[in-house]
Structure 1
Amino acid sequence: MAPTFDLIKNIQKSQNFNLFDKKRANEINFNDLIALPNQFMYKVNCENADISDIKGDSKRIFGFEGINKIDHIYNLIKPSQVESFIKDTAYNLSFVRKNPKRVIPKRNLFSNIVEIKVKHGYELFLRQTFALRSDQNGILYDTAGIYTALPSTFNLKTSFSNIYGEDAVYYKNEHLQPFEKLISSRELEIMKLISEGYSTSKISEKLFISAYTVDTHRKNIIHKLDALNTPHLVAIAKDIGLI
């Protein structure tokens, strides 16, 4: 049986909100966020698994008015991508809850490219999820969802400023796998060799690149996956299915 959007809602609602540590909570005020002209932004209360606030003009962005429920947004996703979208979102929500140190204020929890129904067909959107209110136990109380309309010329990659004014680059990924799109093929190759126990010098010899280049790739991967060190990097990569 194909998964339904209830899977995402149940993961959000199944958290023990009574254990939410308000004293050690990280919080961002949704009202402080700025929606760009090509963005539709919404706040989700995970206890109810539904939208509690919105920013952006849904008619201008999607061509439809009255989008104020999470189901309204889910129903705009291209049917052929629904199953991947659900599995992707459910996996990432579960992963974040099991790894609370990844839940950092002003940090994108996960993102992907998805085709959304608009007035005249389907268009590509960058969909991002941020933690608005979370605690040290990994409980997500409120999240922000952002759909950014991508230009019609969008191909392999596009660069723009996110809601905090920081430059960001996102790669087109037809299969909606948010972690893989952050890692280059060379980095993935090096990461697999590291997981197999190869030393920097051995990787250098095997791939015909300098030890300095290997070490640079390793540092870049650690940064991209928010790992503490190389063993932690390997553990994260295995957990999210990269190796």
Structure 2
Amino acid sequence: MLNFSEIKIVHIDDHLLFAQGVYSLIGTESFIQELAHAQSFKKGLEEVKRIQPDIILLDYFLPDSDGIASIRELKKVSVSSKIILLTMESNPNIVDKCKMEGAIGYLPKSISKKALIQALNNAIEGIPTFPESTGENTQGSETYSKLNILSKREKEIAYLIAEGLTSAEIAEKLFLSDLTVNTHRRNLIQKLGLKNSAQLVAFVENQKFMKS
């Protein structure tokens, strides 16, 4: 059961297709009063100043800022806004830093609609939503360590592969060639020390992020 009525959200993410996906998931829900999107931190800051949203959904890496600096600036212009990182970046040190800077949530871009709405509900209630701690889990730490060697694009493709998309579907979604996606797929498997795409899917699925 939702514990809020209408809320205003600003989503800051330079990936337009992903932002459109978020809008398609929750943009027309009855509890959304406004869902604005900005493709850069500068534009996002302007939207936050204008709207004074209840919640800010924030990608960690932006063309003109990083998550830590973004959180600090956003809190200056909208003290009451709850900040949730919605990102592919999974470094546990970064997760901890975002928490220390005052973010109330840290979610993977592979999150389901149900889990996203629950995280929004938690934020309104002041309840944090973060990945499970890896401090006492060496397997989890190893997973994070391996993810750190991947580029942002490689992480993006890894998540799409885990969602079951074919190379052709990924190429169409990301406006890449099939050859480029297949090259990324091979590089992912090699970098992570895996044998095939099936192991890559299992690797992504075994991460310690919240699942619905």
Q: By percentage of residues, which structure has more strand?
A: 1
Structure with greater Cα Rg: 1
TM-score, normalized by length of structure 2?
Answer: 0.33
Q: By percentage of residues, which structure has more helix?
A: 2
TM-score, normalized by length of structure 1?
Answer: 0.29
